[in-house]
Amino acid sequence: MKVTVAKTAGFCFGVQRAVDKVYEQVALRTGPIYTYGPIIHNEEVVKDLEKKGVRVIGSQKELAQLTQGTVIIRSHGVGRDIYRMIETQGLKLIDATCPFVKKIHRIVERESLQGRHIIVIGSASHPEVEGIMGWCPNRVSVIENEREAYEFNVNSDTKLCIVSQTTFNNKKFKNLVEIISKKGYDNSVINTICSATDERQQEAAQIAKQVGAMIVIGGRNSSNTQKLFEICNKECENTYFIQTLVDLEQRELPPVDCVGITAGASTPNHIIKEVQKYVRDEF
């Protein structure tokens, strides 16, 4: 059995940085440690941190009840109001927001203050997009698909600034921008898709074209992993989305000569290696 593992699979720079920051605080043990939302979209990592005493805060209401401790901002980032709450309550703040996401915060805040209507290409329910919206002091819209792009309508003299969720599909982003651009607005388009995400997606598609089965590893709530699955599934009909080796053990791969493996940006390396070894040994 030939197994091809994507070179770009696994932790990206921003995720590794965020996870490292939490473990650094665990090692210091200066008091209660909290993350605002799961630090990354990987249940295995979050469970391990919980065992070490790190508690996940899921809402502003929970945050408001804290009187001491360290609050770590998740890799996906949060809105400005969360920073203010943490500072007002006298809590220690550790910012683990991905630098590429922080860049978007600065862009939308600047462009919004200059009077542009911000459009975020992405999923409105994704925490990264929610955080980006929290840095827009004025008008902001989220567009995820063609229907929403076609239906978008504002005054003809409105100036727009279009950015993207960092993990959005690059082809889809360009397609949605084209639809909006045809409406004749004054557009400022800034492609904020992370270069590592784009490279990961391109490599995954290339591998999927050449194998009999494709395995995509990542958390079920991971946006970038879901998009990897969509991309691979278009190129290879035998594409499987798993979180851990246990999920793969419960499935039966078809008889093929070559299997490809890729993984989302929040997938630990040891899980990728476990899956790789299992496929080689068992099939």
Supply the angle between the helices 13-28 and 43-51 in degrees, to the nearest 10. 10
Name the fold adopted by 100-189. Answer: Cobalt-precorrin-4 Transmethylase; domain 1 (3.40.1010)
Give the residue extent of every domain in the chain: 2-10+195-282, 13-97, 100-189
Q: How confident is the model at residue 282 (pLDDT cuts 50, 70, 90)?
A: confident
Q: In one letter, which amino acid is 82?
A: I
Mean pLDDT, to the nearest integer, of 117-130?
97
**CATH number for the domain running over 13-97:** 3.40.50.11270
Condensed to tens digits (0 to 9), the pLDDT of residues 175-192 reads 999 999 999 999 999 999
Same fold, 2-10+195-282 and 100-189: yes
Q: How confident is the model at residue 169 (pLDDT cuts 50, 70, 90)?
A: confident
For residue 159, list its beta bridge partners. Answer: 186
Q: How confident is the model at residue 88 (pLDDT cuts 50, 70, 90)?
A: very high
pLDDT > 90? residue 221:
no
Q: How confident is the model at residue 52 (pLDDT cuts 50, 70, 90)?
A: very high
Task: Give CA 271 to chain center in angstroms.
Answer: 18
d(CA 79, CA 114): 19
For residue 39, give Cα distances in angstroms to 21, 29, 69, 127, 153.
10, 18, 16, 11, 36
Supply the angle between the helices 170-181 and 195-210 in degrees, to the nearest 10. 120
Residue 1 is predicted with a pLDDT of 82
d(CA 112, CA 118): 6
Q: How confident is the model at residue 250 (pLDDT cuts 50, 70, 90)?
A: confident
Task: Give CA 95 to chain center in angstroms.
Answer: 16
Q: In what order do the strands lie in the sheet with 239-242?
A: 2-5, 258-263, 213-217, 239-242
Mean pLDDT, to the nearest integer, of 58-80?
96
Based on the number of CB atoms within 10 Å of its own CB, is 163 exposed (0-12), middle (13-18) or buried (19 or more)?
Answer: buried
User: Left, alpha or beta for 184 (phi > 0: left; psi -120 to 50: alpha)?
Assistant: left
d(CA 152, CA 180): 8
Name the fold adopted by 2-10+195-282. Answer: Cobalt-precorrin-4 Transmethylase; domain 1 (3.40.1010)
Residues with a known catalytic role: 128
pTM: 0.90
DSSP run (H or E) holding 118: strand 117-121
